[in-house]
Amino acid sequence: MYDHPAQRLANDALWARIADELRRSGVADLPATLDRDRDLDAIWRDPELILGQACGYPMITDATLPLRIVALPVYECPACRGSTHHSLIVVRHNDQAFGLGDLRGRRAAINDPASNTGMNLFRAAIAPIANAQAFFAAVEHTGSHRASALAVASGDVDVAAIDSVTFAALDRYEPDLTDQLRILQMTAPSPTLPLVTAATTDEATRAVLQQAVLAALADPALADARDALFLIGAAIRSEDILTPLASLSLQASKLGYPLLR
């Protein structure tokens, strides 16, 4: 899910180390390389998925999504604490808005309607001040957090919620872009994007996966790769760790704001 071009070698190195650990534990027929070609939904629904990363929001809103949590990554970047993170609500650097209320009637961007960081957390921040009415003049769907950031920077829209780990990568690797943005507010916290496996993966293999991930994230030889990805560890959590995402959605609905609009 975090695969900026400057991070791809790091992701490749991390997968290679995890795969080696899995093979030593007897897991066979592992892919040699990461799959970057297929649509995310197709990857998440692949019954042979051994390891991937998913947005937590579709996992709690779509009962047909056949995934199980392996672990929650722990990132070291602003707006991340342990296995939680936030979204950053951003405007252009010279925008006159100094609070969410100043954005009423403006144009917003979301990466995807099913995104936790781009939509669900954003909606939860707006719901208390929307008065059960449309808050924005328009909500554009951009397809990615980076595209949302570019849309704000270019003036195509006025505001977007950017995943804090994505923002950290943009700030490191594309500072000319983030220099054009200003963080207006941080959203409520939520669990980081979980590492997942197919629901068909047996419990023994999932346990091996967890140990392989932890081993890779503790390997001194991967220090540079982990730094490129802002990774400092992973936490093993139960499946109900994503419940807060559903609670935020329910709260917005109770306030008469079920859709970000």
Q: Tens-digit pLDDT profile for the chain (261 aa)? A: 999 999 999 999 999 999 999 999 999 999 999 999 999 999 999 999 999 999 999 999 999 999 999 999 999 999 999 999 999 999 999 999 999 999 999 999 999 999 999 999 999 999 999 999 999 999 999 999 999 999 999 999 999 999 999 999 999 999 999 999 999 999 999 999 999 999 999 999 999 999 999 999 999 999 999 999 999 999 998 889 999 999 999 999 999 999 999
Pairwise CA distance, residues 1 & 53, whole Å:
6
* Residue 239: predicted pLDDT: 84
Same domain, 174 and 198: no
Domain that holds residue 215: 5-75+191-246
Q: Are residues 213 and 150 in the same domain?
A: no
Quick one: 16 and 28 in the same domain? yes
Q: Which two tokens stand for residue 216?
A: 């890779």
Same structural domain for residues 163 and 87? Answer: yes
258 assigned to some structural domain: no
**Residues 26-60, buried b or exposed e (16+ Cβ, 10 A)?**
ebeeeeeebeeeeeeeebbeeeebbbbbbbbbbbb
- What is the C-alpha to C-alpha distance for residues 261 and 257, in angstroms, rounded to an integer? 8
Sheet with strand 80-81: strands edge to edge = 80-81, 84-85, 190-191
Q: Using an 8 Å Cβ cutoff, are 224 and 76 in contact?
A: no
pLDDT at res. 218:
95
Same domain flag for 213 and 174: no
59 and 133 belong to one structural domain? no
Q: What is the pLDDT of residue 155?
A: 97
Domain boundary among 168, 189, 210: 189
Report residue 42: phi and psi, to 5°: -65, -40
Does residue 221 share a domain with residue 93?
no
Whole-angstrom CA distances from 83 to 28, 93, 98, 235, 243 are 30, 29, 29, 7, 14
Out of 163, 189, 215, a domain closes at 189
Please, what's the b/e burial string for 68-106 (b: 16 or more CB within 10 A of its CB; e: otherwise)?
bbbbbbbbebbbbeebbbbbbbbbbeebebeebeebbeb
Predicted pLDDT of residue 238: 85
Q: Is residue 259 part of a domain?
A: no
Its pTM stands at: 0.95
Structural domains counted in the chain: 2
Asked if 85 and 119 sit in the same domain, the reply is yes
Instruction: Give the CATH number of the domain where residue 134 resides.
Output: 3.40.190.10
Does one domain contain both 195 and 185? no
Decide if 71 is inside a domain: yes
Domain check: are 112 and 185 in the same one? yes
> Which pLDDT does position 220 carry in this prediction?
97
| 252 within domain boundaries | no
Same domain, 98 and 136: yes
